[in-house]
Chain A
Amino acid sequence: MDMEAAKMIGAGLAAVGAGLAALGVGNVFASFLEGALRNPGAADSQQGRLFIGFAAAELLGLLAFLVAVILVFVA
């Protein structure tokens, strides 16, 4: 296979990671909302943890994006 084509296919495959991270981020917020509706009194105190979970899930999607950018523009 041509090197250029392989890079583009790799970058496309990296987009799968970004999509999966979207599932992760959605799961974080969905679970938080589910818990918050059950016990609204405890929701506000857990917002810090919500964003830590969000940041951790999001980072992996951003890494996938970075892999794609490196493949297209740098490698």
Chain B
Amino acid sequence: MAAEEGKVDPMKQFQIEPIFGSENWEIAGFSIAFTNSALWMAVTVILLVAFVYGGMRRELVPGRWQMAVETMTGFIDNMLEANIGKEGRKYVPYIFSLFMFILFGNLLGLLPIGLVGLHPFTFTSHFTITGVLALMSFSIVLIVGFWKHGIGFFGLFVPHGTPVLMTPLLFVIELFSFLIRPISLALRLFVAMMAGHVLLKILATFVIDSLNAGPLLGATVGPAALILMIAISALEILVAGIQAYVFALLSSLYINDAENLH
């Protein structure tokens, strides 16, 4: 949707624009230009590596930085041990990277650097990116499940103590709920981030338009919308953390299914 004259388009922030390499950078008809989405992913990875590298001093008495990193790894470690058990610890690198990547991406997209003319881009608000992350988790579930249990992995779809008559029906239902997992996993993160950012931009439109509409509306609607916007920004920081946590938690639960078959 194109923005009308003088209106703020809340969907404009999700537009992917090539930063460089837009001409003739193609593979099989698909453009591989370096976009703002790719730029923010690169920024996220660089910050993440710097964050973890700064905490890898291995001192006996940890400093602040090392403590911060160890808290995050310990948090993921505990979560995996509680959900999967002892053998879950080998997934700590994957779940930790996933959690931190999503968390940093969500939080970087909320940075108020629009004040200095830069445009923050939340790459987790695109279904292509969350979809790939969810497919990675789902592939790990499939690979581990079939590797460990072979054809017995299909036992996941027939709960213990199912009557024989009910088995075909339950198998179909369980299979369907298993196959919908990557979609729901990706959808949750993408919609939560997109909805929050659209809401923030719509409230920003209220502030600007009410100030333009005259002194009465500008004095009543404008400040109210601004205060609401600040509160929603705080909520968005909470949502950024919760969604990253939920993504990591559900990934670890699905991996638990593959490891332990119920």
Residues of A participating in the B interface, judged by any CB pair closer than 8 Å: 45, 48, 51-52, 54-55, 58-59, 62-63, 65-66, 73
Contact = CB atoms under 8 A, between A and B. Distances in A.
Interface of B: 1, 11, 79, 82-83, 184, 187-188, 191-192, 195, 242, 245-246, 249-250, 253
27 contacts: A48-B79, A48-B82, A48-B83, A48-B249, A51-B242, A51-B246, A51-B249, A52-B249, A52-B253, A54-B242, A54-B246, A55-B188, A55-B246, A55-B250, A58-B188, A59-B184, A59-B187, A59-B188, A62-B187, A62-B188, A62-B191, A62-B192, A63-B187, A63-B191, A65-B191, A65-B195, A66-B191
Among B83, B242, B246, residue most surrounded by chain A Cβ atoms (within 10 Å) = B246
A47 B187 CA distance: 23
A53 to B, nearest CB: 11
Contacts, number: 36
A37 to B, nearest CB: 22
Query: Interface of chain B, helix or strand or loop or mixed?
Result: helix
Contacts of A58: 188, 192
A66 B187 contact: yes
Given A59-B184, A73-B1, A51 B245 contact: yes
Nearest to B184: A59
A65 to B, nearest CB: 6
A14 B35 CA distance: 33
Contacts of B195: 62, 65
Contacts of A73: 1, 11
Q: Is chain A's interface secondary structure helix, strand, loop, or mixed overall?
A: helix
A20 to B, nearest CB: 16
Q: Most chain-B Cβ atoms within 10 A of its Cβ — which of A51, A55, A73? A: A55
A68 to B, nearest CB: 10
Nearest to A62: B191
A20 B187 CA distance: 19
A22 B249 CA distance: 21
Q: Which 4 pairs across A and B sit closest by C-beta, in order of nearness?
A: A62-B191, A55-B246, A59-B188, A65-B195
Nearest to B11: A73
Contacts of A52: 249-250, 253
A69 B11 CA distance: 11
Nearest to A72: B1
With most chain A CB atoms within 10 A of its CB, the pick from B11, B79, B187, B195 is B195
A66 B187 CA distance: 9
A48 B256 CA distance: 14
